[in-house]
A and B are shown apart, each in its own frame.
Chain A
Amino acid sequence: MRKESILLSLLWVFLLSLALSIVHAQEITLQVWDVFDPATSKDAVEREKLLRKFEEENPGIKIQHNILTYSDLHEKLVVAGVAGSGPDVLHMLGEWVPEFVLMGIVEDITERVNTWNEKQFFPDSTWKVATYKDRIYGIPSIASPRVLLYREDYLKKAGFDRPPDTWDELRTVAQKVTGVVEGVYGFGFCSSSNAIRGPQEFLPLLWQTGAEWVLEKDGKWLPGFTVTQAEEVFALYDDLMNTLKACPPDSIGWEWQELDNAFVMGRIAMCYNGSWMQLHEEKAGESFKHWKGTRMPANKNRATYFEVKVEGIGKFSKYKDEAWKFLTWILGKDQMALHTRHDNLPARTDVISLPEFQEDEWKKPFFAVIPDGKSFPPIPMSESNKAMMRELQAVLYRQKTPAEAAESLLAMLQEILETINE
């Protein structure tokens, strides 16, 4: 009798767990790794609501949302990917795409994209960032060009009724604005060894000299600039920091946090920056109404960094169809209009053309500079970025002249390209 009851209980447990596993098997969980933190961004709050809405509309699919910072996200994607795992849906900076493709951790979605009837709503310039060697690896989600962000009140106080439009004007305005209010400097920029925002400011300056970072010739990558062109860029930084003393003297090595805060606190009058600065509206208080954006001052060319963020499918995802369904839904017109309404800028043209986006005074200068926008070249950029910042710091600390730094930067790039070309 006792034996029978034990057997019966075991049978029940077995049946129950079988039933549970069947129910569980019908529900899948999509792992989504991105940077959208509702604690810090209004757009992220909207996105979080949309994730829940997607779950409601798709009862068999659960979303597990993992929020990371950009540097952690990059590291975790590499580690997981190399180990043969990773998320179903991943958020990427445009410059990560070549690296991740080469490592084999992001899915080729060319066929899916080419048959998607909404492809046309994304500009070619954004698809270019999601493409590597003619194959597409993600859908553009945020497309945000950089502007020259400036404090109109400081400039007016120094006697300028318009922002600088050329490098020479930038030098003059930055110098004159310095000290117009006690403790205020004319300009600020990033030059951290961590090389996140710094290269995004350095490259547009190089493009403005008429150069490229790299050029492709006969299937090989070659340096796209001359020593003179790089020297011009280093000389501009050197002038602003050391000759004209128009930047905070202790700002060498600033990363984006320091730069953004310095602008919010009114310590610098100008910097190159993006649409996310709107997040600081409350912190800036009254001074926010003096924040204006305009095109980056030009040299021979006009150019700005066009930051395109891409969402892709993990190579090792078991649920690629569901991940695609999620991606095309969250990056659909109605959804994108919600989660790029505040501090982000949408990649879709049909969202940009919505009246609420067109009439947004904050977003206007960003939309206006899109034609000047360029993205990083489609090669792995990590080593290049480090080299740029290393040489820039050498100039700022006066360890090298702009000409010497330009020469070593070119030499380093040649070495980096040798490996890439191999």
Chain B
Amino acid sequence: MNISFRINGTNKNVDIKPGELLYDVLKSIGISSVKKACETSSCGVCTVLLDGRPIASCSYLAAKAHGHEITTIEGVSREAEILGSLMNSEGAIQCGFCTPGFMLTVIAMKRELQNPDEQAIKNYLVSNLCRCSGYEGQLRAVKLYMEVPQ
């Protein structure tokens, strides 16, 4: 079947199989930043934004994305550069595998929440798992990022 959606601001038409997952379709059109780690909507690694909201692309049917706007880290380069630099300064980018999905979630959070406290930040980011960093370095970077003017 044919679907069309916007990816990082560009219209895209693709032929897909009806059961294909969004993750696989994004890979097939050359988006390398999206990684897969759990296949069960549990870890946040494959996060993309669907109309600005974080979703797990490993468990989302590509057909459902028809008519919607998908954003990956390539589509938020300004924010990614600021947040990525803050993360890197904190040493919070370790293996880096979870980082693009994590940063997308943080960027969505900043657009969505006004002055969240630490608990609200953790609630929003809870299903972005990280096995390397112990989370504290990420939190230090996120707190700094939330202070950056939009």
Q: Does B associate with A? A: no
- B residues contacting A by CB (< 8 A) are none
